[in-house]
Homo-oligomer: A and B are copies of this chain.
Amino acid sequence: MAYNVGILGATGAVGQEIIRLLHEREFPIAELRLLASARSAGKTQSFGDKSWTIQEATPESFAGLDVCIFSAGGDQSKLFAAEAVKRGCIVVDNSSAFRQDPNVPLVIPEINPDSVDNHQGILANPNCSTAISLMGLYPLHKAFGLKSFIASTYQAVSGSGAGGLIELDQQAHAWAEGGEMKQEVYPHQIAFNLIPHVDKFLDDGYTKEEMKMLNEGRKIMGIDDLRVTCTCVRVPVFRAHSISISAEFEKPVTVEAAREAVRNFEGAELVDNPANAEYPMPLNYSEVVPCGVGRIRKDLVFDNGLALWVTGDQLWKGAALNAIQIAELLHKKGKLSS
């Protein structure tokens, strides 16, 4: 059994990782079809000894595909998702376009695998910071019952795609070599700076990114009255996000039980040995499958509270990996028709 798999947005930073991970994880592929905008059509993309010619995405491009991972931004998703579904292609969408649609499951396979059972053709992949945060929070929710959390993010430039990676690289080189820094992706210099601004601002002073932590956290964990305050900050790090979290629970907590819950959760790794200066860091969690959870301690503000620190690869668990895990889950459940 092997599938015809498409990638929409194959040339982007996430698209590249999707190609790589599909191969490294040996997803059963019959045909791999790379789709992108007209600008990229005709170019060649390769991985290992294989190569593909990129095709321009049109409604017809999805005919014959069993599943297509969309990673070309919300506008492209809105343009093509229904066209793909109409042609019998299941869509795993990386954009935020459908995440709050009640007919679209928002899936982290380690958390809500059964949500895929009722899909109507589209399945949504969560926001990167949310996915990574939940790899630390969800096992604690199962153990203690999550009521609320406060999160401050430390987000890598990979979250802005290839352009973000190029911009930090260029600015850091310019700094070292005395050249001129270019500024195209971010409104301010990101090298050796912090920008407390990710995604667009809403009228209440929050960014859309900050509200995803609340809205997607509620939907994925199934906690309707969850309260979340999030502050999103871009930091001069290449590709792993980190999140500092204080969380409040229904039940009394202990640090030992919290560590045990994280230890037993698939997809997270406990790295929590302060005496040896061991805690998750972006450099250790780039190109790594599990997310790292550490710095677990009693929160000093909430009565039943824990503070923790989570780090994970933005391009992997925050995007490409989770999307592929959704496809793997569909395959495992026999819900991908080839």
Contact = CB atoms under 8 A, between A and B. Distances in A.
Interface string A186-204: 0111001111110001001
B282 A214 contact: no
B193 A282 contact: yes
A201 B154 CA distance: 22
A297 interface: yes
B152 A277 contact: no
Given A235-B154, A277-B188, A309-B231, A194 B301 contact: no
Which of A173, A204, A228, A244 has most B Cβ within 10 Å? Answer: A244
Given A205-B255, A255-B205, A236 B149 contact: no
Contact of A173 (B176, B189, B274, B300): B176
A173 B172 CA distance: 9
A150 B195 CA distance: 20
A75 B302 CA distance: 35
Contact of A204 (B152, B242, B275, B298): B298
Nearest to A275: B201
Interface in A210-224: 214
A152 to B, nearest CB: 4
Interface residues of A, number: 61
Interface string A300-315: 1110010101010000
Interface in A154-207: 154, 168, 172-173, 175-177, 187-189, 192-197, 201, 204-207
B236 A294 contact: no
Nearest to A232: B244
Contact of A193 (B192, B237, B255, B301): B237
- Most B-side CB within 10 Å, residue of A168, A187, A201: A201
Judged by DSSP, the binding face of A is mixed
A296 interface: yes
A186 to B, nearest CB: 9
Interface in A223-248: 227-229, 231, 233, 235-238, 242, 244, 246, 248
Contacts of A193: 237, 281-283
A279 interface: yes
Contacts of A192: 168, 172, 236-238, 282-283
A300 B154 contact: no
Interface string A241-265: 0101010100000010000000000
Nearest to A176: B176
Contacts of A152: 152, 231, 244
12 contacts: A150-B301, A176-B176, A176-B177, A188-B281, A196-B280, A197-B274, A204-B298, A231-B246, A231-B295, A231-B309, A233-B309, A235-B236
Counting from the closest, the 4 A-B pairs by CB-CB distance are: A205-B297, A176-B176, A152-B152, A152-B244
